[in-house]
Homo-oligomer: A and B are copies of this chain.
Amino acid sequence: MDNITSLFKKNGLSITDGRKKILSYFLNSEGALTHADVEKNAGEHFDRVTVYRTLQTFVDKGIIHQIPTTDNSILYALCKDDCGAGHHHDDHVHFICEECEKTICLDGVMVPQVKLPRGFKPRHSEMVVKGICDDCK
């Protein structure tokens, strides 16, 4: 029983061909992926609806996490921390390279705390840094 299979088992998900291919695609990709990436490159043709539902399921189970963007798209990347259904702990910084357009999880860089004005209670913080990545510099 490989990694992928046991991960699905652990989360009470049926082991289907689509889920295996989509998760493999994430495992074999460097950066974050969009819905369109998955639809085009996950290895075979999956219905658009299936891709939506699969990504949503993976997010719900703590298998992938979302990265906010400013261009009406959502990026998805593998959770490498101890995320699970209902509790994500992806509090690392994301880096978007303006040259190669890749989005990279900087798993070693934690999102810093900031001092908020009186009365504001933080629960979760996101940080996205744009610039030039190591490969493109």
CA distance in complex: A71, B71 (Å): 10
CA distance in complex: A66, B73 (Å): 14
Tell me if A63 is interfacial: C-beta within 8 Å of chain B.
Answer: no
- A-side interface residues, number (CB < 8 Å): 39
Task: Tell me the nearest residue of chain B to A59, going by C-beta.
Answer: B70
Q: Across the interface, do A134 and B112 meet the contact criterion of CB distance under 8 Å? A: no
**Which residues of B sit under 8 angstroms from A108, Cβ to Cβ?**
117
Given A66-B70, A114-B109: A131 touches B127 (CB 8 Å cut-off): no
Q: List 13 A-B contacts (CB under 8 A).
A: A68-B68, A68-B128, A70-B74, A70-B126, A106-B117, A109-B116, A114-B127, A120-B133, A122-B130, A123-B131, A123-B132, A124-B130, A125-B128
